[in-house]
Chains A and B, each alone.
Chain A
Amino acid sequence: MISLSAISKVYGKKDTAFTALSDISFEVPAGSTLAVIGKSGSGKSTLMHIMSGLDRPTSGTIKIDDVELFNMKPKAMDAFRAGTMSFIFQAFFVEANQSCYQNVMLPLEIGQVPRRKRKSLVMNALKAVELDDKAGVLAGNLSGGQKQRLAIARAIVNQPKILFADEPTGNLDSTTGEKIMQLLFNLNKDLGCTLVLVTHDHELAARCQHQITIKDGHIESIVDRRAARKAQA
């Protein structure tokens, strides 16, 4: 369960103050899918940064499974984040001069996972994205879709509770993008991790259980598809 209450983010001071987010509150149950929709500059990325603890809100609180995120000391926060969340970015951010295996290993090293457990975890993650035959290949030699699959393998290797995906299909053609989305939804179902998808694509967002549309730092609309379906029934 992720719950946000009265999150605001203001950049600058007094005259030059710019409100990026104001009074954002919502809840997402664990294991569900959430789409944060908005045009560029709407504040959706800032919201994702705050939800993931990368950025501090000016006011408001975030609880993840009853742990208050910004009450922690930096060291505890790093450890909590290393064990709880993962990221997928539009530009992949895989290390081109390292092998696929080494790329996927990074979160395990950061999380200080015991060495004997690492190999099977990495190989399982690579298998889940069908890259297990490329373990020794340099990431730079992969195609765009493969790179994003590698990024997904890296994101799921330490079995995070929350997976943040920032425009994961933005740099891919529509066929490959569709495959990546299918993979993400399947992982959400199989691993039971909460998927937070940041996108400007309404079609993609429509496939998520929860949709939050952000406009000029405010929540424009919240849709809970499951609740809507229940209401229909």
Chain B
Amino acid sequence: MYTTDLIRRSGRSLASAKTRTLLTAIAIAVGTFALTLTLGASNGVQSYVKKIIANNFDPAELIVTADSGLINKTDTTKPQEYDSSFGSLTTAAGATVQVKKLTDADLLRLSQLPGVQRVRPAVSVALQYVTRPGMRKYVGTLTAYSSSQKPDLAAGTLGDDVPAGSIILPDGFLSSLGFSSAQAAIGQTVTIAVQPAFDQTSLQSAFASGGTAALSQLATPATTLQTYKIAAVSKTSTFSQPGTSLYLYASLAETQKLSDLTTKGTSSYRRYLTAFVKAADGTNPKKLDAVQTEVKALGYGAQSVADTEAFLTQIITILQGIVVAFGIIAVVASLFGIINTMYISVLQRTREIGLMKALGMRKRDINSLFRMEAALIGFLGGILGAGAAVLLGLVLNPWISNKLGLGGDPLLIFNYLQIALLVAALMIVATLAGLLPARKASRLNPIDALRTE
């Protein structure tokens, strides 16, 4: 028989037992529904993570730490030997740990590696406060601007760097600092207050000359006020790193100056937790890998954007694996439904099979007739389940994005090629489920099948 004739016959036979066909297909649809939604969520999360990374990291850069343990796990149960590059770091859990930090010597060493285009330390300053005349004082953080992570601007224009004496103000500060709009803030000034560090050497000389009175005056260091012009206003992005949406940006030199002021004389002076090492032509993974290998060979920790992405998606991948496993279990369970349905179908059509055999239909054709019937049930179940998932996704996407604060970004992204492959896979396993019943049908003895009693 021609394949099209076989398909049409199996389709008709399914259509003549609508309820049975539909119920069997729905069993498969349940598993398919879960699988389609999981795939959709996986696509969505991956795209979201990619966007976050693209907005916050330069793919040509490596994040380098002096302490390779920050990136590559080290044994924290054994004490580490001290050198002068150690500095303290408070973890999110509140523990203070001693970690090795990068020094200017380290930065120089990194910048001299072959294939390295530029090295820039990650510098940020905890400001005492930010304010304008007549406004309240607000806490803030100033960070060095990098042209490779340009923030979206609400107003103003920027070249490759923030001009000296200027800053970028995040739009979250606008109303608090009394600006009516982003545009109105451009060219205006803000006052930033920093507190110079408690300097040990001046402490000793003060004690020698002025006694305790001079000492107590030194112990409450004077606040240094700096005035900056607002060069641009940055937009709050759903894709910025958590907690960084209120960061103020200034040029690296400017930030470094303030940082020096607040850390001079302390163990944090010119110590950097991380630095960004930009590889020449680093968007080429081979060149980036080469630089990463060199940096690691010097004993530094080095992480590329791809590493960060893998780290961020790892937990999500595990959770998805669990859901996918349950989906597959549901599909496997429904396969027994197909086997059962197909056996009933063979039993009900014993005479038809006998007649077809009597009329000279080949064993192989009868076999394919029933396997195709099973495949069609798989197809129907796949389309039903995937269709329901896509419909639900399209309806719920705006609501989910709103609840999760993803902005306009959908959580569920359906890839139709992926769904087609899923349905094709279902048809294949359904065909496998149909193998035994189809074998039974093809082996039926036509004489027994046609007995009238």
A interface list, Cβ under 8 A from B: 49, 52, 54-55, 74-75, 78-83, 85-87, 89-91, 93, 95, 97-98, 102, 106-107, 109-112, 115
Contact = CB atoms under 8 A, between A and B. Distances in A.
A55 B445 CA distance: 9
Contact of B359 (A80, A87, A90, A95): A87
B361 A54 contact: no
A108 to B, nearest CB: 9
B28 to A, nearest CB: 24
Give the 7 A-B residue pairs with the shortest CB-CB distance, closest first: A82-B360, A81-B360, A97-B16, A109-B5, A110-B361, A78-B360, A91-B452
Given A102-B12, A109-B1, A89 B360 contact: no
Contacts of A49: 447
A7 B360 CA distance: 22
Nearest to B361: A110
B363 to A, nearest CB: 7
Given A109-B1, A110-B356, A55 B447 contact: yes
Contact of A83 (B2, B5, B360, B363): B360
Interface in B398-453: 446-447, 450, 452
A204 B387 CA distance: 61
21 contacts: A54-B446, A54-B447, A78-B362, A78-B363, A79-B360, A81-B359, A83-B360, A85-B360, A87-B355, A87-B359, A89-B450, A89-B452, A90-B452, A91-B452, A93-B351, A93-B354, A102-B12, A106-B359, A109-B1, A111-B360, A115-B2
A148 to B, nearest CB: 14
A174 to B, nearest CB: 20
Nearest to A107: B359
Contacts, number: 58
B2 A112 contact: yes
B150 interface: no
Interface in B1-45: 1-2, 5, 9, 12, 16
A93 B363 contact: no
B150 to A, nearest CB: 64
Interface in B344-400: 351-352, 354-363, 365
Contact of A78 (B5, B355, B361, B447): B361
B12 A98 contact: yes
A115 B1 CA distance: 11
- Residue from B16, B352, B360, B365 with most neighbouring chain A CB atoms (10 Å): B360
Nearest to A81: B360
A106 B356 contact: yes
A232 B260 CA distance: 136
A54 B16 contact: no
B450 A82 contact: no
